Amino acid sequence: MSNLPQFASTVHEVTDAMEANELYQREGWTDGLPIVPPTEDAVARFLAAAELDAVAVIGVEPVRRRSITAEKVAIAAVMAGCLPEYLPVVVATVKAMCQPEYALHGSTASTGGSAPFIVVNGPVRLAIGMNATHNVLANASRANATIGRSIRLILLNVLGGIPGQLDRSTLGHPGKFTFCVAEDEEDSPWPPLSVERGVPAGVSAVTVLQVESPHQIMNEWTHDPKEILDTYAAAMRSNMLLYSIWEGNYAFVIPKQHREIFAAAGWTRQNIRDYVFEVARVKRGDWRLVGKAAVAGRKDEDKVYCALRSPEDLLVVAAGGPAGGFGAILPPWYGKKSLAVTMPVGA
């Protein structure tokens, strides 16, 4: 490609893609999986596709004040295996995560070991072939897999989120490799999540929240929406007792089989949130049942803790395969210390 941009990054010369991969593995610049070599030509193509200058600052991590430039975002996207047309989604995700309420530094550095969960809405999902149905939380789509992976590589290489260094996760979870879904807008009884969060209909957007590993639930034995939600809420109460009692943004991934039950009963997302707000509660004294007697008695054991600060804390995502009563709750990293952020693509 002629007329390459003036890149700020150091250039390394290698003989071929295999040697490039070995260099990046050796230097710890990847997540352990192979990379696509971020050649000058490839990075230039990605930037051109997103109409971005290499020097453009996509975001600044608020605590350490690290600037994240378009050049570094494009390098990560190439390495992750993206196509150029995915880059605007990666860019929007970085912008969202740099908002102060996201607490990017704290959540990246924490022993808690959480991961950014990315939900994509709008026309871009279909344009780039994202998956919203079968196996939605796992492998099924190049776009889902590589957009999420790009974010991990940015955290690793641009923000220094190296395990054992800035990233102090005790365990982490598999979503730290990649954790990105599209919402199944075409088969949902509800407006897109992004529209509910203030983005105009028809505009593509990402919603990102910092979550612990998903807890899968199953209920195929009722058509009562309350009973279905009682199963999700039980998983939330379990998380409150076993992991963290603190209130914050939880997400539900609700599959078609459950969505049809809600639709038949005329339940909106607001109905779901209102019900869950009431039932996802535990008593402090319940900690005694799960081996946490040492802290249960430090305050009033009859005190009731809610999973959500208000019903609006719950994000309801329509996604998953067409058959099966399997849903998931995604708990927050650390209560309300990191909040979900929605960002239009191309903003």
Partner 1 sequence: MTLRVLDPRQSAHGEALRMAPPLASLDGAVVGMIDNAKIGTERLFDFIEEILRKEYRIRECIRRRKPDASRPVPPPMLMEMRGADAILAATGD
Positions in 36-65 near partner 1 (CB under 8 A)? 37-40, 43, 63
* Closest by Cα among 307, 316, 330 to 255: 316
Q: Which residues lie across from 250 on neighbouring strands?
A: 314
Structure tokens at 81: 């295996």
Question: Under the criterion CB under 8 A, does residue 135 sit at the interface with partner 1?
Answer: no
Question: Under the criterion CB under 8 A, does residue 12 sit at the interface with partner 1?
Answer: yes
Q: CB of 287 within 8 A of CB of 300?
A: no
Which position has the token pair 């880059």? 87
Per-position x/- string for 63-92, each x denoting binding to partner 1 as judged by CB under 8 A, each - no binding? x--xxxx-xx--xx--x-------------
Q: CB of 343 within 8 A of CB of 206?
A: yes
* CA angle 226–229–235, rounded 5-degree value: 145
CA gap 228, 221 in Å, rounded: 9
Contact stretch for partner 1 (CB under 8 A) within 3-11, 87-95, 212-220, 244-252: 3-11
**Pick from 20, 280, 316, 317: which binds partner 1 (CB under 8 A)?**
20
Question: Under the criterion CB under 8 A, does residue 177 sit at the interface with partner 1?
Answer: no
CB atoms within 10 A of CB 321: 17
Per-position x/- string for 238-277, each x denoting binding to partner 1 as judged by CB under 8 A, each - no binding? ----------------------------------------
**Pick from 17, 218, 265, 323: which binds partner 1 (CB under 8 A)?**
17
In whole angstroms, the minimum distance from the beta carbon of 36 to partner 1 comes to 10
**Pick from 1, 9, 222, 303: which binds partner 1 (CB under 8 A)?**
9
Interacting residues of 49 by C-beta distance below 8 A, sequence separation 6+: 84, 85, 87
Between 47 and 118, name the residue whose CB sits nearer to partner 1.
Answer: 47
In whole angstroms, the minimum distance from the beta carbon of 239 to partner 1 comes to 19
* Closest by Cα among 300, 265, 267, 276 to 286: 300
CA gap 272, 290 in Å, rounded: 28
The DSSP line for 248-260 is --EEEEE-HHHHH
Q: CB of 124 within 8 A of CB of 89?
A: yes
Question: Under the criterion CB under 8 A, does residue 305 sit at the interface with partner 1?
Answer: no
CA distances from 343 to 117, 119, 130 (A): 14, 11, 18
Contact stretch for partner 1 (CB under 8 A) within 107-115, 232-240, 283-291, 311-319: 107-115
Positions in 109-128 near partner 1 (CB under 8 A)? 110-111
Question: Under the criterion CB under 8 A, does residue 10 sit at the interface with partner 1?
Answer: yes
In whole angstroms, the minimum distance from the beta carbon of 295 to partner 1 comes to 8
Between 24 and 252, name the residue whose CB sits nearer to partner 1.
Answer: 24
The amino acid sitting at 229 is: L
**Pick from 157, 194, 249, 257: which binds partner 1 (CB under 8 A)?**
157
Question: Under the criterion CB under 8 A, does residue 14 sit at the interface with partner 1?
Answer: yes
CA gap 202, 332 in Å, rounded: 28
Between 197 and 337, name the residue whose CB sits nearer to partner 1.
Answer: 337
In the complex, which residues of this chain contact partner 1 (CB under 8 A)?
7, 9-17, 19-20, 23-24, 29, 37-40, 43, 63, 66-69, 71-72, 75-76, 79, 103, 106-107, 110-111, 153, 157-159, 295, 334, 337-338
